[in-house]
């Protein structure tokens, strides 16, 4: 996060701004307090009425926002990365994430709606309290309370969203392979599926459902970061990097860089030398 946390946590009542580019790296937690509204998310249409909560993990995927003249809402948008670090170490965070990506709406009772709005107010009231010596920890605790409440609301009506931890296990193991540097030499989805004893389709479908991002995107992002680190280090020639990363040829490595970095390895190094 390039900016300070207090600049990235936003409280708003503007429904039409939930898909603002400013929120692309955030998760939006919204409650409808009056009227009726709707939006398209993940290529599906959803509606909101009083006491409906929406948890939107990919605001960039929201389109076709509309509402009647009586519609009112409140929401908090907070950085995905910061929230991810607050999630409890249990399988529900993964299971719930899958379910909420498919259907972001949670219908709650009047009592739970009051509890959630109290969570939002508590966060809103402390966003500008930047002189607090433990600001990040303070906001983290308030946001974590909200997350636990959302888990509770969601679990009440979704006891059987996933009756197995298999999805959570596969997801965790996939990211363990990615974080361990495996994309340096292995960039095919089939390799990761083989390591996890599942089909490529199962792995692709699972990761897409959990995160909203494709398996190949995660693999290529990690491989690109490794390639960039090597290219910034002039002690290795381009041919040595291609060999180290097990590309079949320098030309294939060059095409890969053009596709994922936007320029060839030589162009990247030339541009770096000019800076």
pLDDT of residue 93: 64
3-state SS track over the chain: CCCCHHHHCEEECCHHHCCCHHHCCEEEEEEEEECCEEEEECCEEEEECCCEEEEECCHHHEEEEEECCCCEEEEEEEEHHHHHCCCCCCCHHHHHHHHHHHCCEEECCHHHHHHHHHHHHHHHHHCCCCCCCCHHHHHHHHHHHHHHHHHHHHHHHCCCCCCCCHHHHHHHHHHHHHHCCHHHCCCCHHHHHHHCCCCHHHHHHHHHHHHCCCHHHHHHHHHHHHHHHHHHCCCCCHHHHHHHCCCCCHHHHHHHHHHHCCCCHHHHHHHHHHC
pLDDT of residue 66: 96
End-to-end CA distance of the chain: 24
Strand partners, 106: 53
pLDDT of residue 15: 96
Q: How many CB atoms lie within 10 A of CB 131?
A: 6
Over the stretch 179-215, which tens digit does the pLDDT of each residue have? 888 999 999 999 999 999 999 999 999 888 777 788 9
pLDDT of residue 163: 44
Report how far Cα 134 is from the mean position of its chain's Cα atoms. 25
Q: What b/e readout covers 224-248, taking b as 16+ CB neighbours within 10 angstroms?
A: bebbeebbeeeeeebeebbeebebe
pTM for the whole structure: 0.65
Extract the residue ranges of the chain whose pLDDT is less than 70: 1-3, 87-95, 98, 159-165, 272-275
């Amino acid at each position: 996060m390039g900016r300070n946390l207090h600049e990235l946590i936003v409280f708003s009542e503007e429904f039409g701004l939930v898909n603002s580019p400013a929120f692309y790296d955030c998760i939006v937690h919204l409650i409808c307090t009056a009227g009726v509204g709707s939006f398209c998310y993940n290529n599906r249409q959803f509606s909101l009425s009083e006491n409906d909560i929406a948890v939107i993990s990919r605001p960039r995927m929201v389109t076709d926002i509309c509402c009647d003249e009586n519609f009112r809402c409140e929401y908090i948008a907070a950085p995905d990365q910061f929230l991810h670090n607050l999630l409890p170490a249990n399988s529900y965070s993964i299971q719930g994430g899958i379910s909420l990506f498919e259907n972001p709406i949670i219908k709650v009772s009047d009592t739970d709606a009051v509890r959630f709005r109290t969570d939002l107010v508590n966060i809103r009231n402390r966003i500008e309290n930047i002189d607090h010596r433990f600001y990040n920890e303070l906001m983290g605790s308030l946001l974590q309370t909200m997350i636990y409440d959302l888990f509770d609301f969601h679990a009440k009506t979704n006891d059987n969203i996933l009756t197995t931890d298999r999805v959570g296990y596969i997801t965790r193991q996939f990211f363990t392979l990615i974080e361990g540097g495996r994309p340096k030499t292995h960039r095919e989805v089939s390799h990761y599926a083989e390591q996890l004893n599942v089909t490529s389709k199962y792995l692709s479908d699972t990761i897409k459902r959990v995160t909203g991002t494709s398996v190949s995107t995660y693999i290529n992002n990690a491989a690109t970061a490794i390639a960039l680190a090597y290219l910034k280090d002039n002690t290795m020639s381009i041919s040595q990097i291609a060999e180290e990363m097990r590309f079949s040829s320098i030309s294939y490595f060059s095409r890969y860089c053009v596709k994922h970095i936007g320029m060839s390895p030589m162009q990247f190094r030339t541009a770096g030398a000019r800076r």
